[in-house]
């Protein structure tokens, strides 16, 4: 089994349950450096870093300090793995913001057209997906009631 394979198995078996995973991982420092130096090692190790960042209870700053102290290839893997998580979080934040804005616009349109919106309708709008919000907003002009707007 490759060094990266052994390291991955170690992380999968210990990361969630270890009381001090960074101390456990420190014993694997040489293998981390070796794995990062392998062909495609940085990319593979970046995936493992993402896993570690997501499941280990240690503060991300401590994880960063430990990993970046192992040399430039491990640091590159850390930065790559962290960047993927940051981008994923940014996209999730944008989607939530878009959904919130669409929901607010739909509520305003319903208020203007129907002079009030039932609480259950407001509740349903707040839980809706972007696709539902788009579909419902397109119906506002022709609908005769809020229920007709949200009809399936």
| Domain encompassing residue 82 | 3-87
> Mean pLDDT across the chain, nearest whole number?
89
Check whether residue 64 and residue 105 sit in a common domain.
Answer: no
Token pair of 96, please? 């939530």
Of 70, 87, 104, which residue is a domain's last? 87
DSSP 58: S
* Other Cβ atoms closer than 10 A to 12: 12
pLDDT in tens, 114-145: 998 999 999 999 999 999 999 999 999 999 99
> Does one domain contain both 17 and 81?
yes
Q: What is the pLDDT of residue 58?
A: 79
Q: What is the 3-state secondary structure (H, E, C) of 96-137?
A: HHHHHHHHHHHHHHHHHHHCCCCHHHHHHHHHCCHHHHHHHH
Among 40, 72, 87, residue at a domain's last position: 87
Average pLDDT, integer, range 99-116: 94
For residue 115, give both structure tokens. 């002079």
Supply the pTM of this predicted model.
0.57
- The answer to whether residue 74 scores a pLDDT higher than 90 is no
Do 57 and 32 share a domain, yes or no? yes
Same domain, 52 and 77: yes
Q: Are residues 28 and 78 in the same domain?
A: yes
Within 15-71, where are the H helices?
Answer: 21-26, 29-37, 41-55, 60-68
């Amino acid at each position: 089994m490759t060094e990266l394979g052994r390291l991955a198995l170690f992380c999968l078996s210990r990361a969630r349950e270890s009381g001090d995973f960074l101390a456990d991982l420190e014993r694997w420092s040489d293998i981390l450096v070796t794995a990062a130096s392998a062909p495609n090692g940085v990319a593979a190790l970046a995936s493992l870093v993402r896993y570690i960042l997501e499941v280990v209870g240690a503060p991300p700053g401590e994880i960063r300090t430990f990993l970046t102290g192992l040399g430039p290839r491990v640091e590159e893997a850390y930065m790559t793995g962290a960047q993927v998580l940051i981008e994923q979080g940014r996209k999730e934040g944008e989607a939530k913001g878009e959904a919130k804005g669409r929901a607010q616009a739909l509520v305003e349109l319903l208020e203007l057209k129907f002079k009030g919106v039932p609480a259950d309708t407001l509740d349903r709008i707040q839980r809706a997906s972007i696709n539902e919000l788009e579909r419902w907003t397109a119906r506002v002009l022709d609908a005769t009631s809020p229920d007709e707007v949200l009809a399936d």
